[in-house]
Amino acid sequence: MQHEANAAHDSAPECEYFDVVIVGAGISGIGSAWYMDRDCPDKSYVILEAQETFGGTWHTHRYPGVRSDSDLYTFGYSFRPWTEAPIATGERIRAYLDAVIEENRLDRRIRYRHRVLTADWDGERKRWSLTVRREDTGETLRFETGFLWMCQGYYRHEQGYTPDWPGMDSFEGRIVHPQTWPRDLDYSGKNVLVIGSGATAATLVPAMGDKVAHITMLQRSPTFFNPGTNGDPLADQLRALEVDEHWIHAIIRKKLLGEQAERLRRAKEEPEAVARELITAVKDNIGPGVDIATHFTPRYRPWQQRVAFIPDGDFFEPFRKGKASVVTDRIERFVPEGVKLESGRTLKADIIVTATGFSLCVLGDIKFTIDGKTLDLADTVTYHGMMFTGVPNLVWVFGYFRSSWTLRVELVAEFVCRLLNHMSATGKRMVTMRLPPGEQAEPQLPWIDEENFNPGYLMRDMHRMPKRLNRPQWQHTQDFFSERTRFPAIGFDDPAFDFR
């Protein structure tokens, strides 16, 4: 069942009010809505989604082989069992989200093709006023809400990030970005150059390898890869014993989280040993003839950037067959026949794929004002990576980099529902985070410590992000294993909460 743009809302009233507005119907928005129904059944809410259907990332990305790089036992929701291989295709993830929407009747809550343009907070009325554009009709609508739940993600869906290399206009072939993959792109028998070596490139190379004449992965510097089996023997054994799928999901989820905690501990405490193990695994999978030291020995610590999991080692198969190669160099300029490198070498190509990452999108690129004053999120300090000083009645769901995004979606959702119920019980209509006097003079640091985690899409736009303090409650710690106990323990008597 596909949930497309709703025809039932064509005659929307001049202004609609909801207790809560959720922005985005991707994996964050759908999960947050489930918790609203469970924990705040008396509150009205709507989900505003700019695209024509649900899924977010899994609707936007349609390039060959698109798949998760997190296991679906933890990337899926705790409340809905995953019953297939741990690493899933985009199509299977969309089917999973479709089932969650249908089983919980969430389609009646979603307004597709509704793009939020502006959000204005009125302190006297204690509510947000939203200007929304219907993408299918161009009509301008107005919504009001007591609480904004931002689940729109962190990157622009309309356009990925491609550097402005010299000479791009001179290239006689076709340049494409995975985020806007053309439906008519025929790469059969073509020489393809993929620029980048992250999880997207690691997916494209094996997915395209059988049809292309040859595919070359060009990287500035090497990346860590983690080959492994796309299966779980314990899950298979439990299914053979006809154990209930909810129990299987909970057991495997807990097991995988324990294994992940141990991997991250070792990456922090034994980085050299972990790096050796990952590089050895690549050497064992890719076969002879590839210079491991040059192309697969990164200069950073494991998990200082995300490590791409390679299900069943499929990324390495085209290299073993001679259909793929890797080049580590920098681009000097594009030329008519391909790309000229700083080393002087020219890589010829019919198609160039720029798997060069995302363009960061802060709060959905929505123009915010607080009592008439334009909001610059970079002037705020984050509370637990989800609320911001001086910004009332708003939460932004920003997931984990090292763990599955959805783990944090659920932690934040339980917190928000507790917060909403607390405000109802105490008669409060406004909550704003404030730095207590003793913490106001502390140094304000960048959103993420680049020594801890430094992907390019964050480094390029760090100046647009909120600040943090050197305290767990005033930063996004990126640590699910501490936050899963810290979030439920957040007390609303904390002086950081200003209720009115």
Successive 10-residue mean pLDDT values, the chain, 500 residues: 47 82 98 98 98 96 95 97 97 98 98 98 98 97 98 92 96 97 96 96 97 98 96 98 98 97 95 97 93 95 90 96 97 98 98 94 95 97 98 96 94 98 98 96 91 77 93 93 97 97
Q: How far apart are CA 45 and CA 33, in angstroms?
A: 8
> What's the angle, vertex CA 13, arms to CA 10 and CA 15, rounded to 5?
130
Q: To the nearest 5 percent, what fractions of the chain are helix, strand and coil? A: 35, 25, 45
- The vertex-253 CA angle with 248 and 255, nearest 5°, equals 95
Contacts of 214 by beta carbon, 8 Å cutoff, 6+ apart = 191, 192, 323, 324, 325
Buried b / exposed e over 52-90, threshold 16 CB at 10 Å, is ebbbbbbbbbebbbbbbbbbbbbbbbeebbbeebbbbbb
Please give the pLDDT value at position 8.
41
Whether the CA torsion 282, 283, 284, 288 is positive or negative: it is positive
Surface-to-core class of residue 220, CB atoms within 10 Å of its CB (0-12 exposed, 13-18 middle, 19+ buried): middle
Bridge partner list, 150: 23, 396
Question: Look-up: residue for tokens 């290239």?
Answer: 171
* pTM listed for this prediction: 0.95
HSE, CB side, 13 Å, CA atoms: give it for residue 380: 25
Largest CA distance in the chain: 70
In this prediction, residue 13 carries a pLDDT of: 56
Residue 457 has what pLDDT? 75
According to the model, what pLDDT value does residue 180 have? Answer: 95
Residue 269 structure tokens: 């405490």
Per-residue confidence (pLDDT) for residue 11, from 0 to 100: 47
Query: How far are the Cα atoms of 25, 361, 437 from residue 157, in angstroms, in the given order?
Result: 13, 9, 40
Q: How far is Cα of residue 382 from the mean position of the Cα atoms in its chain?
A: 19
Give the Cα separation of 215 and 324 in Å (integer): 5
Distances from the Cα of 134 to the Cα of 84, 115, 140, 366, 416, angstroms: 37, 6, 6, 15, 28
Report the distance separating Cα 477 and Cα 448, nearest Å.
8
DSSP string, 120-141: EEETTTTEEEEEEEETTT--EE
